[in-house]
Structure 1
Amino acid sequence: MTGDGPDRPERPERRDGRPGRTGRGGGNGGTRARSADGRLPGPLLRQRAERGPQTVPELPYPSAAVTGTAGCSYAELDRRARSIAARLGAQLQPGSRVMLVYPQGPDLAGALFGCLYAGMAAVPLVLPAPGATEAVARAVRRCAPDIVLTGSDGWTPLAVDRTRTQVLEADGARVSGEPVWRLAQSWRPVGVLPGAPAYQRYHDDGAAGGRVEPAMSHSDLADVTTELAQAVRLGTDEENVGWIAAVHGVEDAVWRILLPIRVTA
């Protein structure tokens, strides 16, 4: 998988001028639709929330209990996702690019699934710790997101030109100042194509800049998590599950959010 720096080969572009994903699926929401809706990450979470709302999705590894999952129940994660999707849908068109600036945890998980629910492409910038925001400005310049989602707990004075890029604060209590429960009630599902862009991995290269990988579709994410779930069932250890995810272009924090939804009964 390649980045899109000046020294890399050209790739097909989506109609909006952003790079399309080659190989696994169509970055423009195109023709690939092998995955049934029930396997797509967004609809799968909705099913889990309806059938086992109080279940907490977990990975079968000791170290994953704290950092490896969303850290909340299906019902809570679904509520967070619906509230964020409702706000995004009121401000952006499906297919828009949304940067997620959070440390690992339920806020990041809710934002990721909120993008999936809204049919928008998530570009996570996972912070190593609250306050470690020095990479944000160059990531925004490189990725040109339509909006930046971040937390609202006092560590988010991001170095972003807000006259050019909108910043929306979202956590488990409020989204852009509005209560999560109220927004969640106002959410209405959108028709998300399996081949529509869902996720892009961003690499921060420090002062040299950064690079963003081609978009993975909802169907791509379903295929990767299915493969990871099969590896888990075969007894593959945590390190090698992470290696498989990385080979497919899914970063550590993201597979740790998505996979528990797939493997938890």
Structure 2
Amino acid sequence: MSGGKHSKPRRSRPGGGGGGGPRPVAGDGGRLPGPLLRRRAERHPTLVPELPFEGRAGAAVGTAGCSFAELDRRARAIAARLGTLLSPGSRVLLVYPEGPDLAGAFFGCLYAGMAAVPLVLTTPGAVHAVPRAVQRCAPDLVLTGTDGWHALDVDRNRTRVVEADGVRVGGEPVWRLATQWRPVGVLRGAPAYHCYHDDGPAGGRLEAAMCHGDLAEVMTELAQAIRLGTDEENVGWIAAVHGLEEAVWRILLPVRVTG
């Protein structure tokens, strides 16, 4: 589940996890992941973000196999919907397999100024861990693309569930919601991501939040590693040391290094 094959303890960094904001990093240029995707979509709408690695059999190309413009459209639609339901800073559990729906949901949380907690499914129907994740993470909302096919075991009186994919978000067309999105001022030190580890019947663990600035720092380091010729396995190891699970760095890094 979460953590990926390279999972390691997160290295402590001054100011990380939203505790006062990240330290400045030379060359970062304020490239927070959300605003960076917006710029990529404006300048290179048809370009597909991808990683310079070969041979990951069975995986989608790059972030999600879709263009910057499509990824941005999905993110704006989800952010617009979230903005009508929750306040910035809310925690959102993402129940998806890897792919465009997970990527759009993750960036949608960043656009909305909310903290994403991915629960990455091995298959669309592998939802047995959802009740544990809801109990441990106490999300304000669950985003999923599977509820219409495999009903999630969630108490809807306590936790709202919204279905979101590339066509509709909460029953509304993505194209319409995307036009309704308005940017939210997001601070570098605001919570952006929690890594959740499912420990099976024993329960699960929710890591401290990484802020938007933390994500920008790690992406800058990983991008530099790629420029120096670091292979895929070691890029994943570096990400894990910083507390990023595999599905998340595979969403963020292609946007950082493409374009």
- TM-score normalised per structure 2: 0.90
Partners of 1:135 and 1:219 in 2: CA distance: 30
Partners of 2:100 and 2:211 in 1: CA distance: 22
Can you list the C-alpha shifts for 1:152-201, whole angstroms capped at 9, x where unaligned? 57434111111110000000000000000000000000100000000000
Note if 1:34 corresponds to 2:28.
Answer: no
User: Residue 26 of structure 1 contacts residue 196 of structure 1 at CA under 8 Å; is this kept in 2?
Assistant: no
| 3-state secondary structure, aligned to 2:192 | strand
Q: Hey, what does 1:123 align to over in structure 2?
A: 117
Partners of 1:166 and 1:120 in 2: CA distance: 15
Note if 1:205 corresponds to 2:195.
Answer: no
User: Residue 14 of structure 2 contacts residue 23 of structure 2 at CA under 8 Å; is this kept in 1?
Assistant: no
Q: Hey, what does 2:131 align to over in structure 1?
A: 137
Can you list the C-alpha shifts for 1:219-242, whole angstroms capped at 9, x where unaligned? 000000110111111111111100
| 3-state secondary structure, aligned to 1:101 | strand
Partners of 1:60 and 1:106 in 2: CA distance: 19
The code of the aligned residue for 1:180 comes to: V
Note if 1:241 corresponds to 2:235.
Answer: yes
Gaps of 5+ in 2: 1-10
Note if 1:25 corresponds to 2:15.
Answer: yes
Q: Hey, what does 1:191 align to over in structure 2?
A: 185
The code of the aligned residue for 2:193 comes to: Y
Note if 1:148 corresponds to 2:142.
Answer: yes
| 3-state secondary structure, aligned to 1:99 | strand
- Paired residues in the alignment total 245
Q: Relative contact order (C-alpha < 8 Å, sep 6+): which is higher? A: 2
Note if 1:256 corresponds to 2:250.
Answer: yes
Identical-residue share of aligned pairs (%): 75
Deviation of 1:23 (Å)? 3.7
- TM-score normalised per structure 1: 0.88
Q: Hey, what does 1:9 align to over in structure 2?
A: none
Deviation of 1:28 (Å)? 4.9
User: Residue 133 of structure 1 contacts residue 158 of structure 1 at CA under 8 Å; is this kept in 2?
Assistant: yes
